[in-house]
């Protein structure tokens, strides 16, 4: 497909509608037509995910739409990532994410991870039942700017305080902040445990992460 005949906006549309196959096909066609991969990311893909986030916040999109959009975004990113890495394009930031110790709920955390990845972050997903020292160790190893902790149980959410404390005790709080979220978590709770930020949804977590990575 030649550059002139290739409609790059189809990539935007494919992510918005969660069409993985079209997203992958347009990405491959764009690369074959020697389109700059960075251009695809900044002009089509990130704006599409921003729009997905906007629609989610306005209750025009719900969790399923968020998940399929994130899947289409990731499918395209998987093709582009090696090319971006080759060129040394820096991610927006590095995030270590996991569900707090004792908690096995991972659907919301997975959604936040996918949205962060879609938003241009390098994401290291540690899974569920993650101990504070594991968050800290991986944050050190990866040079993460953020640790993102999810909790779904009132009985496990206090474990987030232990993560905040572990980060401070390890002396890495200057370069690595802690953000929290999950159904029982509130802004007030986040402040009470000394977390650096809170969001009640996945797209808000991306906005928050971007803000914390630029200050």
Among 93, 108, 120, 132, binds ligand B1M (CB under 6 A): 108
Binding string to ligand B1M for residues 20 to 59, with x set by CB under 6 A, is what?
A: ----------------------------------------
Task: Provide the strand spans (E) within 36-141.
Answer: 94-99, 122-125
Task: Kindly state whether residue 199 participates in binding ligand B1M, applying the rule CB under 6 A.
Answer: yes
* Shortest spacing between CB 79 and ligand B1M, in angstroms: 26
**Shortest spacing between CB 18 and ligand B1M, in angstroms:** 15
Q: Which is nearest to 162 in space by CA: 119, 108, 101?
A: 101
The H-or-E segment that residue 54 falls in is helix 46-57
Instruction: Quickly list DSSP for 118-159.
Output: HTT-EEEE--SSB-HHHHHHHHHHHT-SEEEEE---TTTTTH
Binding status of residue 131 toward ligand B1M by CB under 6 A: no
DSSP 90: P
Least spacing, CB of residue 34 vs ligand B1M, in Å: 38
Q: How far apart are CA 179 and CA 168, in angstroms?
A: 14
> Which residues within the stretch 135-164 sit at the binding site for ligand B1M (CB under 6 A)?
148-150, 152-155
| Contact footprint for ligand B1M (CB under 6 A) | 63, 102-109, 111-112, 148-150, 152-155, 179-184, 199, 201-202, 205
């Amino acid at each position: 497909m030649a550059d002139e005949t290739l409609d790059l906006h189809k990539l935007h549309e494919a992510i918005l509608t969660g069409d993985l196959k079209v997203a992958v096909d347009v990405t491959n066609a764009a690369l074959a037509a020697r389109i700059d991969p960075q251009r695809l990311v900044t002009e089509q893909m990130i704006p599409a995910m921003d729009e997905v986030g906007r629609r989610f916040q306005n209750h025009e999109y719900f969790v399923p739409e968020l998940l399929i959009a994130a899947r289409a975004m990731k499918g395209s990113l998987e093709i582009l990532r090696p090319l971006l890495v080759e060129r040394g394009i820096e991610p927006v930031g590095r995030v270590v994410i996991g569900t707090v110790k004792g908690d096995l709920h991972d659907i919301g955390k997975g959604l936040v991870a996918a949205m962060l990845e879609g938003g241009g972050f390098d994401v290291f997903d540690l899974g569920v039942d993650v101990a504070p020292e594991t968050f800290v160790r991986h944050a050190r190893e990866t040079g993460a700017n953020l640790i993102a902790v999810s909790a779904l149980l009132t009985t496990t959410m206090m474990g987030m305080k232990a993560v905040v404390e572990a980060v401070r005790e390890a002396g890495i709080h200057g370069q690595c902040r802690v953000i929290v979220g999950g159904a029982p978590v509130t802004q007030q709770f986040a402040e009470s445990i000394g977390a650096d930020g809170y969001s009640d949804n996945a797209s808000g977590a991306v906005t928050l992460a971007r803000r914390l990575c630029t200050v």
